[in-house]
């Protein structure tokens, strides 16, 4: 059966490629030239490759977190807000301590506080979901707006730059508070290490621990897992908290390693991209590395499209979305083709 | 309209739910359809109302053969069915519910519908607030609304499936009055029930089903004994269970009342002893399940106290119940008992109490292999539970029960199992009883209840009989009680 799903997946990816090719032809470009441009956009120079890595780190963090919520059967669309709130709390920590503590300590503190902020924001969505009976999709989306609004308020209000408040964000932090990078590039080894550690932790927890097993049980059948004696509410809230924590750390990294200040929309849509990655990966945590790498390469590579071919860089989003849709479609089709093996014989004959 | 069902047959898997069942209902009469659990009453009326398609046979309306494939077809043929659980839209208002399902194009004429609803309500003396949200209505009021809605669609044949469960006495009086009025206006009415009293009060004649076949027809009035004989008509199975009951009480209930939206279960005082098996008989939905869920710690009693082995459990959490060795086996194994997508081994790991963070898969595998051998499960440790047969799912559930087990609560422990598995399951259960486990189980199989219980409680509409030793039970007495004639109940006497 798993084999059949695998063939369906292969077929769906083939179909997705056909569909993407068709779109490229419709917009009047040649597929080989698009591939060449994107390839050189992602891997042409050391600087470009470094940007792929810089995008990869937060993407891995968020996708790892989302595996927890997906395993628990939750659609944590609030991940964007969790990134943003992590970034806000992280910025707060830097502002409060940068004059009194040594830079290395400030950085560590900022990353930790980012995680704390994200955890709180994730838990808030979870509490609204579990106790307030608000579907996590709505509570998450609502909190995204709140976090974005809060960031805007801070940037234009209390934390505004000397003289002019602007969309470009708060005052840049001194260079001593930037995460060190590989040479002169955008990629930070520390950010990458943290992200890979998150993937490893995710793999270990989901595969090897009682917590991971219970999370799977809760995600598959809430009622039965409760009857089996699993504390389902605690499991659900933990999934929200862990996902929020990882996303918050990603937010802190956006502040420390990428923008060096708080800007509006600090997540740059990476949370939503991570949702696509997590959906594509399904529950196979192993695939997270290649898929996330491929997606961030697409994102960075597509920036070359307007320069070389006069095409919109949003083509990357089209490719990513198409892939995810077709793969989900394959799962759905294979599911519905599988004959329902049980006849409803429970009641009323 | 004269309704004729001829030689209707319907199978579900290997169950013959209807086996060449024929039924004729003359216009202007109320026809009762009697039978115990699983006799095939619901299947038959669902065929007529388009919810189930028949395998063979014919439906004739006023002598003309018709095809009814969907509920909409049935409505178009002026056949309406009032379901046991009202099929309405709880978040909508009474008026909106009344309007839903009316045919029409474009805009809704609310004023006209309101006038129609008022007119019908007055006609039958139903007192409904038209702007109330349906979720706030009682079951009886929802029934009244549904009847009015069906009538406004021009229905001339009305089917009522167990309509008197969960409604108040005054609502029942109003319902019966309305039914008689409708019959006198020439409508034909099919009244599905297991309650002798209701059938005798309301119906002109009855058809009795048993095991999917027509066992007889009778004109009302008709002596109870005749109807009971038609419904159950057989010797009760002889008790098979060895004596395992000890003298210490295990489960003590005091003045329990459980309220759910469908039913209020009233129990007085009940004591079950160590090693005892109590069978819960009665039509499904009469309160047995509420009792089991409450004893399992999954449903709160509104009033009363529950003690297990002398320990007060009334306000304890479900996990405390598990810790006390209280096990619950739900009827719907894949919905309430096991987690699809997880293997047998995963389940064993979930049930293993462990302080460590990491699952010791090697140790778990060993335990799983052992459990599979002990419980004779046909599956491998990594087999997903949804791929197991019903019998093997039940064996898996049994393997997952806590040890030691003080109290075991089961819904239909052997439903859907082959004979061999049934015998094996009960052998295991009796072995547990010999070590002091107390069992309460509900079953729609009277033979199972007779064979394996020490005492039997019969449920009817949220009331429960006193526990009766199986040796004191006769088919007639059991039939009377299942038919709703509980001579003395567990309900605490009203304090004056």
- Domains of chain A, first to last: 1-29+311-338 (no CATH), 46-309 (1.10.3470)
The pLDDT-based confidence of B109 (bands split at 50, 70, 90) is: confident
- Tell whether the model's pLDDT for residue B105 goes beyond 80: no
Rounded to the nearest angstrom, the minimum Cα separation between A238 and chain B is 15
Question: Chain A: nearest CA to B495, how far in angstroms?
Answer: 37
**What's the confidence (pLDDT) of residue A140?**
93
Taking residues B311-324, what's their average pLDDT? 89
What are the mean pLDDT values of chain A's consecutive 10-residue runs (349 residues total)? 73 89 88 88 88 92 95 93 96 91 91 95 94 92 94 88 78 84 83 94 91 92 90 93 96 92 89 91 84 92 84 85 87 72 36
- Can you tell me the distance from the alpha carbon of B251 to that of B467, in angstroms, rounded to the nearest whole number? 14
Residues B168, B264 contacting (CB under 8 angstroms): no
Chain B environment of A214 (Cβ under 8 Å): 350
Query: CA-nearest residue of chain A to B320?
Result: A229
What is the least distance, in Å, from the CA of A345 to any CA of chain B? 7
Residue B336: closest C-alpha in chain A: A224
**Residue of A220, A346, A349 lying closest to B40 (CB–CB):** A349
| Angle value at C-alpha A321, between A317 and A327, nearest 5 degrees | 150
- What would the two tokens of residue B30 be? 């109320």
Are B359 and A227 in contact (CB < 8 Å)? no
What does A174-185 look like in DSSP terms, one character per residue? Answer: PGGGSPP-STTS
Kindly list the residues from chain B whose CB atom is less than 8 angstroms away from the CB atom of residue A2. none
Measured between its terminal Cα atoms, the distance across chain A in Å is 33
What would the two tokens of residue B182 be?
């409708």
How much is the mean pLDDT over chain B?
87
* pLDDT score recorded for residue A332: 82
What are the start and end residues of each CATH 3.40.50.300 domain in chain B?
Answer: 3-231, 249-325+403-482
Identify which of B298, B339, B357 has the shortest CB distance to residue A221.
Answer: B339
B contacts of A229 (beta carbons < 8 Å) = 318-319, 322, 350-351
Chain A residue numbers with beta carbons less than 8 Å from the beta carbon of B322 are 229
What is the distance between the alpha carbons of residues B182 and B31, in angstroms, rounded to a whole number?
13
B359 → closest Cβ in A210, A230, A343: A210
Cis, bond preceding A56 (omega within 30 deg of 0): no
Q: What is the mean pLDDT of residues B224-251?
A: 82
* CATH superfamily for domain B249-325+403-482: P-loop containing nucleotide triphosphate hydrolases (3.40.50.300)
Angle B1-B6-B10 (CA atoms, 0-180°, nearest 5)?
Answer: 120
**Inter-chain residue contact A349 with B38, CB threshold 8 Å:** yes
Residue B495: the pLDDT is: 38
- Please provide residue A281's backbone torsions phi and psi, each rounded to the nearest 5 degrees: -70, -30
Which one of 3.40.50.300, 3.40.50.10190, 3.30.70.260, 3.40.50.1820 gives the CATH number of domain B3-231? 3.40.50.300
- Give me the residue from B17, B351, B416 closest to A349, CB to CB: B17
Whether residue B462 has pLDDT greater than 80: yes
What are the angstrom distances between the C-alpha of A318 and each of A309, A315, A323?
17, 5, 9
- pLDDT of res. A346: 35
pLDDT digits (tens, 9 = 90+) for B201-226: 999 999 999 888 999 999 988 888 88
**pLDDT at residue A250, as a whole number:** 95
Output the pLDDT for position B496. Answer: 35
Instruction: Read off the pLDDT of each residue in B270-274 and give the average, rounded to a whole number.
Output: 92
Cβ-contact B8, A345 below 8 angstroms: no
Centroid of chain to Cα B68: 27
Would you call A227 and B328 a contact, using CB atoms and an 8 Å cutoff? yes
- Residue B118: pLDDT over 60: yes
Cα separation of A169 and A152, whole Å? 9
Q: Do A228 and B400 touch (CB under 8 A)?
A: yes
Residues of chain B with Cβ-Cβ distance to A225 below 8 Å are 339, 350
List pLDDT tens digits, range B421-458. 888 889 889 998 999 999 999 988 888 888 899 999 99
C-alpha distance from A280 to closest chain B C-alpha (Å): 19
Chain B neighbors of A210, CB-CB under 8 A: 349-350, 354, 356-359
Selected for mutation to probe chain B from A224, A232, A331, A340 (highest B CB count within 10 Å) is A224
Contact call for A228 and B347, based on CB within 8 A: yes
Give the start-end residues of each E strand in chain A: none
Question: Tens digits of per-residue pLDDT, B329-375?
Answer: 998 888 889 998 899 999 999 988 777 888 888 989 999 999 999 88
Please give the span between the terminal C-alpha atoms of chain B, in angstroms, as a whole number.
Answer: 50
Give the 3-state DSSP-derived string for A46-110, with helices as H, strands as E and coil as C.
HHHHHHHHHHHHHHHHHHHHHHHHHHCCCCCCCHHHHHHHHHHHHHHHHHHHCCCCCHHHHHHHH
What are residue B457's DSSP bridge partners? B280
Q: Please tell me the least confidently modeled range out of B170-184, B240-254, B474-488.
A: B474-488
CA distance B456 to chain A (A): 23
CA-CA distance, A217 to A209, in Å (whole number)?
Answer: 13
**Pick from A305, A320, A219: which is nearest to A27 by CA?**
A305
Closest partner CB to A209 (pick from B15, B330, B359): B359
Nearest CA in chain B to A224: B336
Query: Distance of CA A129 to CAs A92, A123, B375, Å?
Result: 28, 9, 40
**Tokens in use for B365?**
């595998």
Determine the distance from the C-alpha atom of residue A61 to the mean position of all C-alpha atoms in its chain, rounded to a whole number: 7
**pTM of the complete model:** 0.82
């Amino acid at each position: 059966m798993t084999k059949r799903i695998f063939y369906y997946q292969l077929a769906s990816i083939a179909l997705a490629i056909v569909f993407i090719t068709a779109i490229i032809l419709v917009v009047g470009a040649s597929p080989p030239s698009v591939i060449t441009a994107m390839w050189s956009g992602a891997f042409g120079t050391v600087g470009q490759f470094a940007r792929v890595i810089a995008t990869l780190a937060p993407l891995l963090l968020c996708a790892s977190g989302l595996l927890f919520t997906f395993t628990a059967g939750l659609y944590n669309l609030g991940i964007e807000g969790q990134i943003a709130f992590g970034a806000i709390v992280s910025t707060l920590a830097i502002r409060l301590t940068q004059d009194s503590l040594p830079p290395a300590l400030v950085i560590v503190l900022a990353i930790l506080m980012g995680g704390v902020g994200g955890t709180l924001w994730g838990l808030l969505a979870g509490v609204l979901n579990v106790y307030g009976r608000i579907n996590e999709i709505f509570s998450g989306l609502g909190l995204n707006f709140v976090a974005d609004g809060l960031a805007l308020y801070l940037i234009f209000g209390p934390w505004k730059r000397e003289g002019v408040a602007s969309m470009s964000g708060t005052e840049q932090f001194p260079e001593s508070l930037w995460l060190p990078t590989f040479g002169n590039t955008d990629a930070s080894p520390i950010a990458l290490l943290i992200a890979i550690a998150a993937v490893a932790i995710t793999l270990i927890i989901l595969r090897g621990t009682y917590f991971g097993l219970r999370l799977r049980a809760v995600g598959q059948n809430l009622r039965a897992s409760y009857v089996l004696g699993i504390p389902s509410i605690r499991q659900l809230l933990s999934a929200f908290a862990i996902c929020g924590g990882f996303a918050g750390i990603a937010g802190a990294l956006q502040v420390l390693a990428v923008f060096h200040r708080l800007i509006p929309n600090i997540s740059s849509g990476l949370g939503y991209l991570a949702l696509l990655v997590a959906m594509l990966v399904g529950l196979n945590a192993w695939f997270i590395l290649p898929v996330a790498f491929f997606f961030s390469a697409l994102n960075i590579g597509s920036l070359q499209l307007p320069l070389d071919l006069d095409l919109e860089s949003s083509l990357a989003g089209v490719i990513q979305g198409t892939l995810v849709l077709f793969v989900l479609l394959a799962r759905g089709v294979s599911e519905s083709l599988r004959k329902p093996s049980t006849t409803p014989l429970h009641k009323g004959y | 309209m004269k309704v004729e069902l001829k030689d209707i047959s319907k199978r579900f898997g290997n169950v013959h739910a209807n086996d060449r069942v024929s039924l004729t209902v003359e216009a202007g009469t109320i026809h009762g359809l009697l039978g115990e659990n699983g006799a095939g009453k619901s299947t038959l009326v669902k065929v007529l109302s388009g919810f189930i398609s028949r395998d063979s046979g014919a439906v004739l309306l006023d002598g003309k053969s018709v095809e009814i494939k969907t509920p909409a077809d049935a409505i178009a043929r002026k056949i309406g069915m009032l379901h046991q659980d009202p099929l309405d839209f709880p978040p909508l208002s009474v008026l909106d519910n009344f309007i839903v399902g009316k045919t029409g194009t474009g805009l809704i004429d609310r004023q006209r519908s309101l006038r129609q609803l008022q007119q019908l309500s007055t006609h039958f003396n139903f007192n409904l607030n038209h702007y109330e949200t349906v979720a706030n209505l009682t079951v009886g009021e929802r029934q009244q609304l549904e009847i009015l809605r069906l009538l406004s669609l021009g229905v001339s044949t009305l089917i009522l499936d167990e309509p008197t469960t969960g409604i108040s006495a005054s609502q029942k009086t109003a319902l019966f009055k309305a039914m008689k009025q409708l019959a006198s206006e020439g409508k034909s009415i099919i009244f599905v029930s297991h309650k002798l009293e209701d059938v005798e009060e309301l119906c002109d004649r009855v058809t009795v089903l048993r095991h999917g076949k027509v066992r007889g027809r009778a004109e009302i009035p008709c002596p109870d004994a005749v109807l009971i004989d038609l419904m159950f008509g057989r010797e009760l199975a002889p008790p098979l269970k060895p004596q395992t009951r000890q003298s210490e009480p295990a489960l003590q209930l005091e003045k329990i009342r459980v309220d759910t939206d469908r039913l209020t279960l009233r129990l007085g005082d009940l004591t079950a002893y160590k090693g005892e098996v109590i069978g819960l008989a009665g039509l499904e939905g009469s309160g047995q399940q509420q009792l089991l869920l409450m004893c399992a710690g999954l449903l709160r009693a509104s009033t009363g106290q529950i003690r297990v082995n002398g320990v007060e459990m009334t306000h304890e959490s479900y996990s405390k119940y598990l810790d006390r060795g209280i096990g619950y086996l739900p009827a719907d194994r894949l919905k309430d008992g096991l987690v699809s997508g997880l293997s047998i081994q995963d389940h064993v790991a979930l049930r293993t109490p462990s302080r460590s963070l990491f699952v010791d898969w090697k140790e778990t595998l060993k335990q799983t292999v052992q459990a599979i051998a002990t419980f004779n499960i046909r599956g491998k440790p990594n087999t997903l539970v949804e791929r197991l047969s019903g019998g093997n799912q039940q064996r898996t559930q049994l393997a997952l029960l806590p040890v030691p087990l003080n109290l075991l609560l089961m819904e239909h422990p052997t439903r859907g199992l082959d004979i061999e598995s049934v015998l094996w399951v009960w052998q295991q259960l009796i072995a547990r009883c010999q070590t002091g486990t107390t069992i309460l189980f509900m079953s729609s199989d009277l033979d199972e209840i007779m064979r394996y219980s020490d005492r039997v409680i019969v449920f009817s509409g949220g009331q429960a009989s006193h526990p009766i030793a199986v040796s004191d039970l006769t088919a007639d007495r059991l039939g009377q009680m299942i038919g709703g004639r509980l001579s003395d109940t567990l309900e605490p006497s009203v304090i004056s």
